Structure 1
Amino acid sequence: MPSIALTQDLRPGFRLEASLGYALRQAGQHHAQLVQSLLPPGLTAPQFTVLVKLYELGSCSQNQLGRHVLMDAATIKGVVDRLRRRDLIEAIADPLDRRRIMLSLSEEGFCLAGELAHAIESAEDGMLGHLDAGEQAQLTALLAKMCQ
């Protein structure tokens, strides 16, 4: 890591609270707290993410699922294993390639994912309530563009 001179001046008028990183972190923490407050006991945000992605996709391999939710192989394996133990996810051999295991939601997982997705969607609407529809669309587009 390059060393930074202790006497280096910041941009004139720089304030941490006005920086992009600080604003993103604050919004991210607010959103994470919002999501966690709506999850049932014992269900984590990464588990919720996996449930909702399977709700959207129907079924997919564990490898594909990890890529969709931005989790590495070890992390997605742990999340899937915990959800399988709770009987929220089912795993079956792919009929086209029996070496591949396909994941899908159990009936209970499907109901839970749908309920949670709707609850989170309503809560996010409240979080974005200070923005009009155009500002909400612009915020989403700008954040997506930043991550390209």
Structure 2
Amino acid sequence: MNQENNEYIIEDQVGYLLRRAYYHHLSIFQQSLDETQLTSVQFATLYSIHKLQECSQKELVNDTGIDQATIRGIIQRLKDKGLISQDPDSIDKRKVLIHITPQGKDQLKQAIPIAETITDLTLKALNPAEKIALQFLLKKIVDDKN
């Protein structure tokens, strides 16, 4: 809030600033990761599948923070690219487990160094202490379940 005349200033609001920072990051991401043909959410999903080794769609939603409807489409696109596979669970035939394919592992291996550079480019205006503080504070916001 502007102290002088009690005006609401959207440019000072956390949601506005987070959205602008996110779009700045996405712009850098799309320019940098073009050669892998992965979007930011596809990269995050592929990374999570690799990390979890095998997972259900629900486990993937919990790990990525991407909503159920969106993750369904991402899974299909990654499957269409041959980066993941889906197989019935051997114990519970109603459950489908998602795995990364060898092609998906290769794609991820190629994308991770680029993703690290993207983080550096996104945070280039910050000094080392500010980078650590920002990451700490963002994690604190994300981890707040209340």
- TM-score above 0.5: yes
Residues 63 and 30 of structure 1: CA distance in aligned 2, closer, same or farther (over 3 Å): same
Q: Pick from 38, 43, 68 the counterpart of residue 43 of structure 1.
A: 38
One-letter amino acid matched to 2:22 = G
Q: What do you get for the CA RMSD once the two structures are aligned?
A: 2.2
Which structure has the greater CA radius of gyration? 1
Change (3 A) 1:46 1:126: closer
Q: Is the 8 A contact 1:52 1:114 kept in 2?
A: no
Which deviates further from its counterpart, 41-50 or 87-96? 41-50
| TM-score normalised according to structure 1 size | 0.79
Letter in 2 for 1:89: I
> What is the one-letter code of the residue matched to 2:120?
D
User: Cα distance, 1:41 vs. partner?
Assistant: 7.2
The amino acid across from 1:143 in the alignment is L
2:52 — aligned with what? 57
Q: 1:43 to 1:127 in 2, by over 3 A?
A: closer
Contact 2:36 2:107 in 1 (8 A): no
Indicate if the aligned counterparts of 2:82 and 2:101 stay in contact, CA closer than 8 A: yes
Separation of aligned partners in 2, 1:57 and 1:41? 21
Give the structure with the higher percent helix: 2
- In structure 1, the gaps of 5 or more residues are 1-9
Instruction: Give the Å deviation of 1:42.
Output: 5.2
Question: Kindly, what percent of the aligned residue pairs are identical?
Answer: 30
User: Partner of 2:2 in structure 1?
Assistant: 11
Match of 2:20 in 1: 26
Please report the TM-score for the alignment, with normalisation by the length of structure 2.
Answer: 0.80
How far residue 121 of structure 1 moved from its aligned partner, in angstroms, is 0.9
